[in-house]
Amino acid sequence: MASLTYAEALRQALYSEMKKDPRVILLGEDIGVLGNVFGVTKGFLDEFGCKRVRSTPISEAAITGAAVGAAMLGLRPVAEIMYVDFTTMAMDQIINQAAKMRYMTGGKVKVPMVLRTQGGAGSGEAAQHCQSLEAFFVHVPGLKVVMPSSPYDAKGLLLSAIRDENPVIFIEHKLLYGLKEEVPEEEYTIPLGKAVVKKEGKDLTIVATSFMVQKVLKALPFLEKEGIYPEVIDPRTLVPLDKETIYQSIQKTHFLLIVQEAASPCSFAAELAALVAEDMFDYLDAPLKRLCGLSTPIPYNKKLEDASIPNEENIITAVREILKG
């Protein structure tokens, strides 16, 4: 076991898969000489050459379109869109091409590509660089959506994503890159569609995504001082979604809090709330609650930015409100 940051875990996954499979190529802005702005691919250009590590122009449509074409012809591209905000420039390639091609050809053409991108606020980069847009992709049939919350999960999920035969949207929270955790040096994979119980508990189920998982875990000691022991579940992949693990927890605790950074309207939290209402209503002893980011563009001002994102105090308050009925 080695203590790796989230960025180092991603780097290790990419490196090992590129060494193992010559079909794996990288595309994206500044991924070559600079090793991308977060350092994930630093040194890859020297190791694998410019045919497999391709620094691209600033054109998200071109990056994604090239990746789709390469995947259709037998390669396994990992394309990086610098910030999820700018996937909006490549929606035709993502939604109408990558997501649809396998279905429209009756399975004859596969699109085994990964689109890595960074989401989330808290870095002071304002309204066009800090959004949480995962719900866009959850809504589209044909895409898989992954949001790792830890270095261990980042490595195992990225390896699975690269090997998957379908297009995978792999969203990394930019505030997680420095998070450290013990990660096995050997190769391992985490199945797409398998949630993890981050903390076992008995009093309430908390389902959280991405960086919100870390905030929930930090809030637990304060709740435990009050005699409240929540069970914390990280779906890890939003599509496919492991409903079974979530439902089993609700059957045990009878209360549910969903925590996400994205705004609530038409979000993943809204979808999960609807699923639970349809399938698990009789198991709930109180109405479920969603704790989400505010429905506002992310402010540049630090105090306003912090106020727009759920924090540990908000989580503690939400838990208390649910249990009080």
In sequence order, what are the residues at sequence separation of 6 or more whose Cβ sits closer than 8 angstroms to the Cβ of residue 282?
Answer: none
Average pLDDT over residues 114-118: 98
Could you give the domains of the chain?
Answer: 2-183 (3.40.50.970), 196-324 (3.40.50.920)
**Residue 254 falls in the annotated catalytic set:** no
Q: Residue 133: pLDDT above 90?
A: yes
* 138 vs 325, higher pLDDT: 138
User: What is residue 316's predicted lDDT score, i.e. its pLDDT?
Assistant: 98
Q: Residue 325: pLDDT above 90?
A: no
Q: Cα torsion for 273, 277, 283, 286, to the nearest 10°? A: 70
Average pLDDT over residues 154-162: 98
Residue found under tokens 């071109």: 62
Cβ atoms < 10 Å from Cβ of 215: 19
Query: How many whole angstroms separate alpha carbon 253 and alpha carbon 245?
Result: 13
Of 315, 290, 293, residue with least CA distance to 305: 293
Q: What percent of the chain has pLDDT over 70?
A: 100
> In the sheet that 289-293 helps form, which strands lie side by side, from edge to edge?
196-199, 230-234, 204-208, 256-263, 289-293
User: What is residue 215's predicted lDDT score, i.e. its pLDDT?
Assistant: 98
User: What is residue 1's predicted lDDT score, i.e. its pLDDT?
Assistant: 82
State the pLDDT confidence band at 134, using cuts at 50, 70 and 90.
Answer: very high
By the 10 Å C-beta count (0-12 exposed, 13-18 middle, 19+ buried), 220 is classed as buried
User: What is residue 78's predicted lDDT score, i.e. its pLDDT?
Assistant: 98
Backbone CA torsion sign across 180, 145, 175, 196: negative
Tokens standing for 193?
């569609």
Rg, C-alpha atoms of the chain: 20
3-class DSSP assignment, residue 181: strand
Q: Residue 75: pLDDT above 80?
A: yes
User: What is residue 213's predicted lDDT score, i.e. its pLDDT?
Assistant: 98
Average pLDDT over residues 216-229: 98
Average pLDDT over residues 293-300: 97
User: What is residue 26's predicted lDDT score, i.e. its pLDDT?
Assistant: 98
State the pLDDT confidence band at 36, using cuts at 50, 70 and 90.
Answer: confident
Query: What global pTM score does this model have?
Result: 0.97
Q: Which of 129, 139, 173, 254 is labelled catalytic?
A: 129
Q: What percent of the chain has pLDDT over 90?
A: 97
State the pLDDT confidence band at 18, using cuts at 50, 70 and 90.
Answer: very high
Give me the phi and psi of 274, to 5 degrees please: -65, -40
